[in-house]
Structure 1
Amino acid sequence: MRHLSARNGTRRVIGAMAAALLCGAGLAAPAAPATAAPAGGTASAEKPAAPGDGLALTPPMGFNNWNTTHCRAEFNEAMVKGIADIFVSKGLKAAGYQYVNLDDCWALPQRDGNGKLVPDPARFPNGIKAVADYVHSKGLKFGIYTSAGTKTCNKAGFPGALGHEYSDAKQFADWGVDYLKYDNCNNQGVDAKKRYTTMRDALKATGRPIVYSICEWGQNKPWEWAGDVGHLWRTTGDISDRWSSMVSIMKKNLPLAPYAKPGNWNDPDMLEVGNGGMTATEYRTHFSMWSVMAAPLLIGSDLRKVSQETFEILGNREVIAVDQDPLGKQGKVLSSEGGRWVVAKEMTDGSRAVALFNESATTQRISTTAKAVGLPEADAYTVRDLWKHETSNSAGTISASVPAHGTVLVRVAVDPKWADYPPAVELGLDGRALAEAGQTSKLATTVTNLGRTPAKRVSATLAAPEGWTVKATSPTTAPSLPTGGELTTAWTITSPSSTPPGTYNLTLRSAYTSPQGAQAAAELPAGIAVVVPPPSGTSHLSDVPWLSASNGWGPVEKDTSVGESAAGDGKPITIGGAVFAKGLGVHAPSVVEYYTGGRCRTATAQVGVDDEKTSNGTVTFEIWADGTKVASTGVLTTAMPAQPLSADVTGASVVRLVVTDGGDGIDSDHADWANAKLTC
């Protein structure tokens, strides 16, 4: 549990170690749950290679308290028992979740006179064995935490296991522990492989089967050596309940696909689903991408408090089946251009799970083919949407308009019964939906038949908020669309003149029938932004309302640096000793968008890494006019003074200010758009 602050670049030293990032626990998982995955497919010739001890043959599934409680008093015996009860009552156990894990702070700060660990009597008045027994009585398994150091990662410094491996392992086994998460703090410089191997041997000596999670934060590339030491290994620092953190960790874990197999898993840390820092769309992406990466699924939210929607996300058995597929393959990246990710995972039955992930802040079309994801040539394929729970047929194209920060997760198979299903259709919006209050804007929509069979009696409707006027200016129906056929409809949209700026719901729907007469429908939820025209003349961008803003750590700040994580905690913008009164403080990766409506000519700024970071920061600044990059700095560092950046944005509807990292990660990437101006 290290705090390697990629969020703000600051490395926090707690006690004698950099404390931080709590490791995602790994657990021995059950067999894959039942699923409505597509039938058929070409059976894989490969079979799972079981490790010698037969543990964790699929990625561990369970719960760990750290992401929701840390060391707060609410982490106690009652909470742990309550989670076990909810696993049973809410169907999570039936869906495959098995382990209920304790994290740091369960022990007293000192060992007893015999060198034994002592459970905190305030948190666990009946001891650890009593809690483990209760968890076991529910048909579940029990996990615990310690560190491969003299102290654990919490600043209070609870006892670590370095030098006590065999004694602690025996104590864990006597208590009925089924899983150990072994952290990395206060390790006294002992070689990583040596300290983790010692605990492996101590666990084996107990004779009890215990899944072993190596929480080494990826510092010494454990994927290269830990396969015969533990069952899973952390590949990154700690996750936090933020979109940028989740995506950053995902990007580090995706390239490690070759190292995953039954009994050996890359661990990108625990789930944040339900903790409240992301939207439901973003949490579905989180769950989808962890599943396609064959990652451990460790619930990190307090299930006593979460919404029903959280249970629906965590309990989606079709998505869980992707994660728990016994072939044990981690999904591989096929493409990632422009924030449009395609990740495909080979499944035991020969089908492919395919994630179409949209990293960007606007709806994007993401497309691939059955051939590209590794399926053999066939007349047609079945495509099962694992969130909508609907099956259709495809002539070979796998495509969707994916909402901002969303993921469409499908399972594609060669299926002799493909003709039993309606053709797949793709809905699309041509361009970005923007409207000035009281003004009429134009928008085009498309309905495209991706299926092998024709789509009959096709219709398109566009729904806007109450009080808005929506009119079609071209046909909204088609008698039939062959494979690849498209119904394009032009629309005019007018919002009431009193509509305040903001994003409003806009939904495209299509109804159609299969050749057999079966009714089918598709829906694309999208947003339309009501925007304010840019002011005439030259304006500081910190005085102009932005269309959208995303940031790698903390919020985008106006007229100060980004500071730390809280809003308003920045300092005066300072680059190379020069102080600027106006500007934007951001942290890579960052995108700030402004509506310009074709009325503006130039965007200018003085840019660089803020002086509040004295090392490590490397960033690149870019200005985009609609979909075209019109200016870029190249890589800038903390040692460089402010650089002028100017771009011609004539005719652009939207201007984007983009900051990316310099290719070395986002540590300390505090970036300033000093004196940023727009001339309109």
Structure 2
Amino acid sequence: MSAQPAAARTPDTPATTPVSTDTARSPAPRLPDGLAKTPPMGFNNWNSTHCRAEFDEEMVKGIADLFLAKGLKDAGYRYVNLDDCWALPERDANGKLVADPRRFPHGIKAVADYVHSKGLKFGIYTSAGTKTCNEAGFPGSLGHEVSDARQFADWGVDYLKYDNCNNQGVDARYRYRAMRDALKATGRPIVYSICEWGENRPWEWASDVGHLWRTTGDISDSWSSMLGILKQNLPLAPYAGPGRWNDPDMLEVGNGGMTDTEYRSHFALWSMMSAPLLIGSDLRKATPETFEILANKDLIALDQDAAGKQATVLASEDGRWTLVKELANGDRAVALFNETGQPQRITTSARQVGLPQADGYRLRDLWQHRDQHTTGTISATVPAHGTTVYRVSADRRWADHPPAVEAGTDGIPLVETGTPTALRSTVGNLGGTPARDVRVALRAPDGWQVTATSPATARALPGGATLRTDWEITAPAGARPGAYDLTLTAAHRAPDGQRITTTLPGSAHVVVPPPAGTAYAAELPWLTAANGWGPVERNTSVGESEAGDGGQLTIGGAAFAKGLGAHAPSEVSFYTGGRCTAFHARVGIDDESGDKGSAGFEVWADGERLTESGTMTGKDTARTVDADVSGARTVRLVVTDGGDGVDHDHADWGDARFSC
């Protein structure tokens, strides 16, 4: 579960190591046992409900109903799983677990029976400790493995998620093997999910213990959290395969903390990594866009591919990622992922991704569900935080498909109201046949002026050719600072006359120059703000949940009335428009973290790092960070995790200010 923020969730570690009172000591059976041949797909309530009252029998039944009504079962989702808080705080007189009668008045078996009646499977949660991870401390299974496993089997459980809290210092391998043996002894096939957060490198020892293992700490519904977990899980590709999966935690798609573009990246990247796809949003409240993402059968086919190979990193530079996944039929899945806040062109080739030499290749866009062809180039201009995914195959009939046409822009324009701002678009033909009657349009919000200052049409665009168009964009007076939709559309005719339209969603950012004199960062509008836990705070520390839930900024006993409260990893960017000369701050770990936590503080200007603090811990007093930002259009304040994870990394930019 994602029971508590990373800063608050740690296992207990007494000196003694109790022995399970009811676990057999016979030699451990080995996996695989035929279960989880592909990554499990389903639902878990924790990310959307935590322990709130809305988590109950009716919710679980409603989710099962929606699996059928919304086509999720047809797309491959099978498991409806309970997380923490389903039980009473105490066992009964016989040592058995008891379902909370307020949440589950008919008991767990009745809920499992309902889920099974829909042709689905049922999952449950507990911890490999004396209590679970919730603050209320519901019973864990340490010392009760055999009886709890038998109880789960009798209820009809098909999936067990086994957490890591209150573990009393017992060796992880012992604890997780004890439950493995107990589950095996029931005779019921139960998929076993090891949730020890990657602390003991389970990918190195758990392939004969569980079917999947968490590789990271808990995910939160934020871009920075998703990105950090992605980077931890990607290098572990060699350990994944049928019946043994790296688990980078559940999906946040639809919970509201990220944009739809970011959620599409989240889903696509998890699919490329052969990750378990466990929906973490309340489907009763989900938008059509959320269902569209979750039910993308083209992407699900990558996740569920029989070869079971996790994608590997082919290239990574300046926030441009190319991931490649070899599929069972010899095709390659290629994800072009843009980590940055600006559109970026990312390109590779059929040869580089491991396909044999051919005159042409079929290129299927897995978001557009459209087949095209390329003579070898695999490329896209990918929106900020976006991911384009292709399935590529050597195809003798490649010319039967229209040519792949790539459309893009050279960035996100920063627009001061009333002032024309330049932008360039490109349309390129990656195929071997012409794209005819090419027309390009740029659509801005009502009241904006958009003018093409060079040709926006071409009668024909041969293979390998590019149409470049220059534009001027003007935002009306009175437009508020912030991001506005700016959509590029390129239309052309294929050789068979088919009209094809390529749309690239983008944005323009209305900006306001900082005032002359001293400009405090907390009083300026920011271009972007990302945080590991909770939102970036103005003039308070981070409380890890809702805006305004922090306290006074305090580092090493020194209090600051003004500044920014962040939590690693974090980035906050500002428009300075070439009008500022210096940045100053006093930085460090907030005193509310005690002597724990570690982070590094960096100042970047126009893509160049100007200064860094070095790693700071909760034991350090505030450190001064000064940077010369003369002439910079944008400045980014970056917090890194200090290289040891993000627990307790409450990072303060005290007295953060610009001289302009």
What's the TM-score once normalised by structure 1's chain length?
0.89
Please identify runs of 4+ aligned residues in structure 1 that moved more than 6 A. Answer: 12-17
Task: Read off the aligned partner of 1:521 and give its amino acid letter.
Answer: T
Q: CA deviation at 1:627?
A: 2.5
Matches within 5 A, 1:154-193: 154-193=134-173
Match of 2:264 among 255, 265, 284: 284
- What do the CA deviations read for 1:301-348 (whole angstroms, capped 9, x no partner)? 222222222211111111111110010011112233222222211111
Query: In the superposition, relative to structure 1, how do residues 609 and 65 fare at CA in structure 2: closer, same or farther (>3 Å)?
Result: closer
Q: CA deviation at 1:460?
A: 1.3
Is the counterpart of residue 419 in structure 1 residue 399 in structure 2? yes
Q: CA deviation at 1:3?
A: 5.3
- What do the CA deviations read for 1:496-542 (whole angstroms, capped 9, x no partner)? 22222222111111111223433222111111111112222343333
- What do the CA deviations read for 1:30-87 (whole angstroms, capped 9, x no partner)? xxxxxxxxxxxxxxxxxxxx96421110001112222222333332222222222221
Match of 1:509 among 489, 503, 521: 489
Match of 1:299 among 263, 279, 296: 279
Query: In the superposition, relative to structure 1, how do residues 176 and 445 fare at CA in structure 2: closer, same or farther (>3 Å)?
Result: same
Matches within 5 A, 1:200-215: 200-215=180-195
- Report the equivalent of 2:291: 311
Query: In the superposition, relative to structure 1, how do residues 319 and 447 fare at CA in structure 2: closer, same or farther (>3 Å)?
Result: same
Q: CA deviation at 1:473?
A: 1.1
Is the counterpart of residue 375 in structure 1 residue 355 in structure 2? yes
- Report the equivalent of 1:470: 450
Contact kept, 8 Å, 2:344 with 2:410, in 1: the verdict is no
Q: Distance in 1 between matches of 2:312 and 2:44?
A: 27
Contact kept, 8 Å, 1:4 with 1:237, in 2: the verdict is no
Match of 1:530 among 501, 510, 525: 510
Match of 1:455 among 423, 430, 435: 435
Is the counterpart of residue 98 in structure 1 residue 78 in structure 2? yes
5+ residue gaps, structure 1: 18-49
Matches within 5 A, 1:225-624: 225-624=205-604
Task: Read off the aligned partner of 1:295 and give its amino acid letter.
Answer: A
Task: Read off the aligned partner of 1:480 and give its amino acid letter.
Answer: A
- Report the equivalent of 1:117: 97
Q: CA deviation at 1:349?
A: 1.1
Contact kept, 8 Å, 2:242 with 2:308, in 1: the verdict is yes
Q: Distance in 2 between matches of 1:137 and 1:579?
A: 59
Q: CA deviation at 1:441?
A: 1.6
3-state SS in 2 of match to 1:79: helix
Query: In the superposition, relative to structure 1, how do residues 151 and 599 fare at CA in structure 2: closer, same or farther (>3 Å)?
Result: closer
Larger relative contact order (Cα-Cα within 8 Å, sequence gap ≥ 6): 1
Query: In the superposition, relative to structure 1, how do residues 369 and 128 fare at CA in structure 2: closer, same or farther (>3 Å)?
Result: same
Q: Distance in 2 between matches of 1:4 and 1:181?
A: 16
- What do the CA deviations read for 1:84-122 (whole angstroms, capped 9, x no partner)? 222122211111111122222333333333333333333
- Report the equivalent of 2:196: 216
5+ residue gaps, structure 2: 16-29
Query: In the superposition, relative to structure 1, how do residues 631 and 159 fare at CA in structure 2: closer, same or farther (>3 Å)?
Result: closer
- Report the equivalent of 1:24: none
Contact kept, 8 Å, 1:16 with 1:186, in 2: the verdict is no
Q: CA deviation at 1:612?
A: 3.5
Query: In the superposition, relative to structure 1, how do residues 372 and 444 fare at CA in structure 2: closer, same or farther (>3 Å)?
Result: same
Is the counterpart of residue 65 in structure 1 residue 45 in structure 2? yes
Match of 1:136 among 102, 112, 116: 116
Q: CA deviation at 1:649?
A: 2.9
Query: In the superposition, relative to structure 1, how do residues 298 and 439 fare at CA in structure 2: closer, same or farther (>3 Å)?
Result: same
What is the number of equivalent residue pairs in this alignment?
646
Contact kept, 8 Å, 1:2 with 1:185, in 2: the verdict is no
- Report the equivalent of 1:662: 642
Query: In the superposition, relative to structure 1, how do residues 436 and 231 fare at CA in structure 2: closer, same or farther (>3 Å)?
Result: same
Q: Distance in 2 between matches of 1:422 and 1:58?
A: 33
Contact kept, 8 Å, 1:15 with 1:155, in 2: the verdict is no
Q: CA deviation at 1:452?
A: 2.9
Contact kept, 8 Å, 2:161 with 2:194, in 1: the verdict is yes
The alignment-based identity, stated in percent, is: 66
Contact kept, 8 Å, 2:4 with 2:133, in 1: the verdict is no
Contact kept, 8 Å, 1:438 with 1:499, in 2: the verdict is no
